[in-house]
Amino acid sequence: MRLFLKTKDFSVSDEPFELHRDEDLDMLVTKPEPLNLAPYYESKDYISHTDSKTSFTDKLYQLIKAKNLIKKVQIVENQLDKLKNLLDLGAGTGDFLITAKKSGFKVTGVEPNEKARMLAGEKGMHLLSSMEQVSGQKFQAITLWHVLEHLPNLEEQIKTLVNLLEEEGVLIIAVPNFKSFDAKHYKSHWAAFDVPRHLWHFSKTSITKLFACHQMEVIKIKPMLFDAFYVSMLSEKYRGNKLYLISAFFVGLWSNLKAVFTKEHSSLIYILKKKK
C-alpha cells in the first residue's frame, strides 16, 4: 500500500494520521490503527452517540437524522416480502430501532459505547454490548448505518455478519465515499475521513470485492443526499471558515449535482444479498 493522504483527528485528539491506498481493493486504510479506540469517541463534540441539541450543528444533525430514520426503515421494508427480525449493528442511541419497531419489526441492536446504550435505555430501547451476544441467531435484515468503517478486523467482521444473515436475508450498509466530489474538494479536511475512528474508507469496488469473497453481491446502491451538506459543514468548520454554512451548502449542492452523472455521492447505501 502507498501513502494517499496525510490528515489528522480534527474532532478529538488533534493527532496526525495517514491514509494508505490498497490498490487491489480500491480503498483507503487509516494508519496507524490505535490499540485502544475508545478514548477517540470521548468528546462532547462527537454527537453521533448523543441526542444533544445545544449548538446549531447539533440541532441540524438531529433534524437530518429524524428525516433519514423514516427513509432508512422504508429502504429495509422495500427489500423484504414480510417484516420479521432486524439486527442493527452500531445502534447508537437506538433511534433507528425505535422507528423500525414502530413499523412492525422485531428488533435487536448492538452498541459497544456504554453512554449510547444508556441513552437508548432511557428511551426504552435495550441494546446489547457486543456481537457475541447474538451468536448463533439468524436475522432477516442486518443494518450498519455508518458503522462498517469503524470496525477493526474487517474480514472477520464481514464473515460474522454473513453468518448471522438468513439465506433470503438482506444486508444494508451505509458508508462514506472517498471518491465523491466533496471528498476530493476538502482533501485532508474532509470530515468523513474522521480518523482514527474510521479505519477504512470504501469505494464501490472495495465493497463489491470484500463481500464477494463471502458469497454476497451488491444488488442496489442508493445515495445519502443529506450527507454531502452535513459533511461539508463539518469540513468547512475544520478549515476554520466562520461562514461555514454558506460554503457548505454550495459545496454539498455541487457534490450532489455532479453525482447525478458520476454516481459518486458523499455517502452510499449498499444493499446486499447472498448469491444464489
Element (H, E) at 144: strand 139-145
Q: Would 153 be classed as within a structural domain? A: yes
Instruction: List Cβ neighbours of 168 (8 Å cut-off, separation of 6 or more).
Output: 140, 273, 274
The predicted pLDDT at position 48 comes to 53
Q: Would 248 be classed as within a structural domain? A: no
Q: Would 159 be classed as within a structural domain? A: yes
CATH code (residue 129): 3.40.50.150
Q: Would 27 be classed as within a structural domain? A: yes
The predicted pLDDT at position 103 comes to 92
Share of the chain above pLDDT 90, in %: 84
Q: Would 242 be classed as within a structural domain? A: no
Residue-wise pLDDT tens digits, 162-192? 999 999 999 999 999 999 999 999 999 999 9
Enclosing domain of residue 166: 2-33+50-180+187-225+267-274
Q: Would 236 be classed as within a structural domain? A: no
* Res. 30: pLDDT tops 90: yes
The predicted pLDDT at position 65 comes to 77
- Strand ordering across the sheet containing 16-22: 2-8, 16-22, 27-31, 200-201
Residue-wise pLDDT tens digits, 131-147? 999 998 999 999 999 99
Q: Would 64 be classed as within a structural domain? A: yes
Instruction: Give the chain's end-to-end CA distance (angstroms, integer).
Output: 34
With beta carbons less than 8 A apart as the criterion, state whether 193 and 202 touch. no
Q: Would 258 be classed as within a structural domain? A: no
Domain count, the chain: 1
Between strands 165-176 and 267-274, the pairing is antiparallel
* Res. 150: pLDDT tops 90: yes
The predicted pLDDT at position 53 comes to 65
Residue 157: CB atoms within 10 A of its CB come to 17
